Amino acid sequence: MSEKADNRIKSWFRDLLTETGYKSSDNFYYLTLLSAPVLLSIYRYFFMADNFTQYFSAPGNAAPGEVQTYILEFAAFFILVAALPFVLIIGSRKKSLFKGLFSFENFKPHVGKTLLALVFIFAPLAYNSSTLPAVQAEYPLPRILLEDQSLLSVYFLALFFLYYVGWEFFFRGLLLFGLKDRYGAPAAILIQTVSSCLIHLGKPSAETLGSIPFGIVFGIIALRTKSLWPVIILHAALGILNDLFIIY
């Protein structure tokens, strides 16, 4: 390609970016928005438990058990939605947007309210959810846990620290706190709600539809408390108690 043609292409591209209102100073926000479809699509297509079963299915490989494949899924999920976004935050020098989200000082004034909500709202919701046939057919994810609970505590630890902590860091951390100053809190709440709802597609209808109001409520809670611990605990309690009610 000639230098003249190359310059024309570069000029056309610059003009296109100018017309769209692109600002290089907003690169962090563009990458944050783009991270939702990119990282979540990678997770759904390449790092689900079934993928790990296939990856280890070659002759001579020791295939991991059902519980182990889900732990591998949770670990991959954490890398995609927590570790990689953390690199983006550090590289973009935007740490101030997320200050105190994992701090106990921010969470301390809300411990009592979180426990009350867990006992009187989320535990009953988890019990009601566990009685739905579609939910019983979906959970617990490793079906072996219905018969053998020897790895139950290990599974729940991985579920909490890798999946739920990673989930809330991404949706209520990166997407919410990372975007609210640029686009406003209402828009940021809706962006993370839409994203979290879409990743639920394929789950029981009650869970997918419920992710919409829960996404909004969890977003409001995170903003009001300036902490991710209330939403991590409540979200994890909903999922873990649902599994326990079904198993026992």
Which of 126, 106, 241, 74 has its CA nearest to residue 177? 106
pLDDT in tens, 185-219: 999 999 999 999 999 999 999 999 999 999 999 99
Residue burial 165-191, b: 16+ Cβ < 10 Å; e: rest:
bbbbbbbbbbbbbbbbeeeeeeebbbb
Alpha carbons 116 and 198: distance in angstroms, whole number: 29
Per-residue pLDDT reduced to its tens digit, 6-48: 667 777 777 777 777 888 889 999 999 999 999 999 999 999 9
pLDDT value of residue 123: 98
Question: What confidence score (pLDDT) does residue 164 get?
Answer: 98
Secondary structure of the chain in the HEC alphabet?
A: CCHHHHHHHHHHHHHHHHHHCCCHHHHHHHHHHHHHHHHHHHHHHHCCHHHHHHHCCCCCCCCCCHHHHHHHHHHHHHHHHHHHHHHHHHHCCCHHHHCCCCCHHHHHHHHHHHHHHHHHHHHHHHHHHHCCHHHHHHCCCCHHHHCCCCCHHHHHHHHHHHHHHHHHHHHHHHHHHCCHHHHCHHHHHHHHHHHHHHCCCCCCHHHHHHHHHHHHHHHHHHHHHCCCHHHHHHHHHHHHHHHHHHHC
Long-range contacts of 204-209, Cβ-Cβ distance < 8 Å, separation of 24 or more: 204/132, 204/134, 204/135, 204/137, 204/138, 205/134, 206/129, 206/132, 206/134, 206/135, 207/129, 207/135, 207/138
Residue-wise pLDDT tens digits, 99-139: 999 999 999 999 999 999 999 999 999 999 999 999 999 99
Provide the percentage of residues in the chain whose pLDDT is more than 70. 95
> Helix 27-46 to helix 185-198 angle, to the nearest 10 degrees?
20
- Per the CB < 8 A criterion, the answer to whether 175 and 36 are in contact is yes
pTM of structure: 0.93
Q: How far apart are CA 117 and CA 120, in angstroms?
A: 5
**pLDDT surpasses 70 at 2:** no
- For 130-156, the pLDDT digits (tens) are 999 999 999 999 999 999 999 999 999
